Chain A
Amino acid sequence: MLLKDIVRLVEGTPLNPEVDMDIKIRGGCGADLMSDVLASSQPKAVLLTGLTNPQVVRTAQIAEIRAIILVRGKQPQAETLAIATQENMPLITSPFGMFELCGRLHSAGLPSFESHVPSS
């Protein structure tokens, strides 16, 4: 799925439209725990999160997330936006909550990119 189609589905606002938005997204994952993102996400996913600090971008970069959507219309901290732009990571804010957004993207055909991790 193209990122611009995802932006339309989540009725999102790109916060750094100057970065390359013309990219393909293979799946999605939603998490507020950065360790969960690192532990279970697969590369080339979009990340839905309620966190807005710079670590979101760093975590996404390390986990090879392709774009970040902030839920509930949250606005990122200034450093977060600066790092996202510098690292070429699209940052989008959507007015909807996590559950609604996961539902919208999943029913539009975007698969879950959260892999099963044994609990111990």
Chain B
Amino acid sequence: MCPPARTPTEQEKHGRHGRPITDQDAHDISRVEELSYDLKIREVMTAEVKTATPEMPLSKVLEILRLNRISGLPVVEHDKLVGVLSLEDIVRALQRNELSAPTSQYMTPDVVTVASYDSIVTAIRTFTEKQLGRLPVVDENHRLVGMITKGDITRGILVALQKDYKEEQVRRYRASHLFEDIISDRTTLVLRYTIKAGDFTQGGKASSYIKRALLRLGADPRITRRCCIAVYEAEMNLIIHTTNGGILKLEVEPHRITMSAADDGPGIADTEMVFQPGYSTATEHVREMGFGAGMGLVNMKRCVDEIKLESSVGKGTKLIMRIFIPDQTVGVSRDG
């Protein structure tokens, strides 16, 4: 979402406690900005509000303010918001010794309001523009449904952020403990993807899923990247070169990741030649898409620790690649 054009606040410029902003802070700020568009005013406002009526004597209003420790009240007549009365209005009445006057005589009739269905960013803007600390919230029919303060907004954002954080943490925590929680002599997580021949639009989707899965499992980001580049090249090869597509398989174990791509044709005549940089059998159409430069297998070989290509013409091809994980990064490290 496009953030509103405005000058950054001191806190945004300098971060918390005056230290420079780190990447993490920058990320947090943009998530907060996002939330200020996503969260609706009705989700964070205070719904149960004390109100005054136009006929109510000011002495009564003062009593309500005092008992509830608040500094202003919306004035409501037949469900409709007709004004607000603040402590300042009461002070004016006190100066003239008119505390018995009705609320309507001292209230401010033109009330700045926000709509319950608007995003909280609207309330934030109104607070800043009008220099106000609290705003009545109305619905489509201009009926008072609540009040919103800056404190309500802060609380609403904090709750939403905590929920976000928890969800991804829980997912990562669960996944990263998979290998510790399930005990066997040899635990392997197998992910399989069916890749269709010629389906360029979906090309790379399986690799994206694999990337997300590895990061959730707690794999080191550098290992994840190497693995995904190799898998992506293999996925594109299945799309570009096979007759009927094939199966892309990822086997994750605590000490290694095995990637394989298998198809049933047409097969490769010379499995040495395809490792030569620049050797390609790709069509002009494929080359126009930025592939088929004869770098695929060369790239895969660079990314993995072990690569094996078996093929027979007319039968099919099987490519197996392995990455060995030093010190059991998967399932242990959580710094990904």
Bound-complex Cα distance A79 to B236 (A) = 17
Which positions in B face A, CB cutoff 8 Å?
Answer: 1-3, 23, 26, 29-30, 33-34, 200-201, 203-205, 207-208, 211, 225, 228-229, 232-233, 236, 277, 289-291, 293, 295-296, 298-299, 302
Bound-complex Cα distance A2 to B298 (A) = 34
What would be 22 A-B contacts, judged by CB atoms less than 8 Å apart? A20-B30, A22-B33, A24-B23, A32-B290, A35-B293, A35-B295, A38-B299, A43-B225, A51-B290, A53-B290, A54-B204, A55-B200, A55-B203, A58-B232, A59-B204, A62-B207, A62-B211, A62-B232, A63-B225, A64-B225, A79-B201, A119-B277
Apart from A18-B2, A58-B203, A64-B225, list 9 A-B contacts with CB within 8 A: A23-B26, A33-B295, A39-B295, A49-B290, A54-B203, A55-B236, A58-B208, A61-B211, A63-B229
Q: Which of B26, B208, B296 is close to A62, meaning CB atoms less than 8 Å apart?
A: B208
Chain A contacts for B229, CB-based, 8 A: 38, 62-63
Interface flag for A21 (CB, 8 Å): yes
Which positions in A face B, CB cutoff 8 Å?
Answer: 17-18, 20-24, 31-36, 38-39, 43, 49, 51, 53-59, 61-64, 79, 87, 117, 119-120
Look across to chain B and name the residue whose beta carbon is closest to the beta carbon of A18. B1
Among A38, A87, A119, max chain B CB count under 10 A is at A38
Contact A38 B233 (CB under 8 A): yes
Chain A contacts for B296, CB-based, 8 A: 35
Bound-complex Cα distance A59 to B233 (A) = 9
Give the shortest distance, in Å, between A33 (CB) and chain B (any CB).
Answer: 5
**Given A39-B302, A55-B204, A79-B201, A62-B290 contact (CB < 8 Å):** no
Give the shortest distance, in Å, between A44 (CB) and chain B (any CB).
Answer: 10
Give the shortest distance, in Å, between B240 (CB) and chain A (any CB).
Answer: 11
Look across to chain A and name the residue whose beta carbon is closest to the beta carbon of B300. A38
Bound-complex Cα distance A56 to B291 (A) = 10
Bound-complex Cα distance A34 to B287 (A) = 10
Bound-complex Cα distance A45 to B164 (A) = 27
Bound-complex Cα distance A59 to B289 (A) = 11
Give the shortest distance, in Å, between A74 (CB) and chain B (any CB).
Answer: 13
Chain B contacts for A35, CB-based, 8 A: 233, 290-291, 293, 295-296, 299
Chain B contacts for A63, CB-based, 8 A: 225, 229
Contact B201 A54 (CB under 8 A): yes
Bound-complex Cα distance A77 to B194 (A) = 25
Bound-complex Cα distance A33 to B295 (A) = 9
Give the shortest distance, in Å, between A70 (CB) and chain B (any CB).
Answer: 13
Look across to chain A and name the residue whose beta carbon is closest to the beta carbon of B211. A62
Chain B contacts for A87, CB-based, 8 A: 208
Give the shortest distance, in Å, between B218 (CB) and chain A (any CB).
Answer: 18
Bound-complex Cα distance A56 to B288 (A) = 12
Give the shortest distance, in Å, between A45 (CB) and chain B (any CB).
Answer: 13
Look across to chain A and name the residue whose beta carbon is closest to the beta carbon of B231. A62
Contact B203 A22 (CB under 8 A): no
Bound-complex Cα distance A117 to B289 (A) = 22
Contact A53 B299 (CB under 8 A): no
Give the shortest distance, in Å, between A35 (CB) and chain B (any CB).
Answer: 4
Chain A contacts for B211, CB-based, 8 A: 61-62
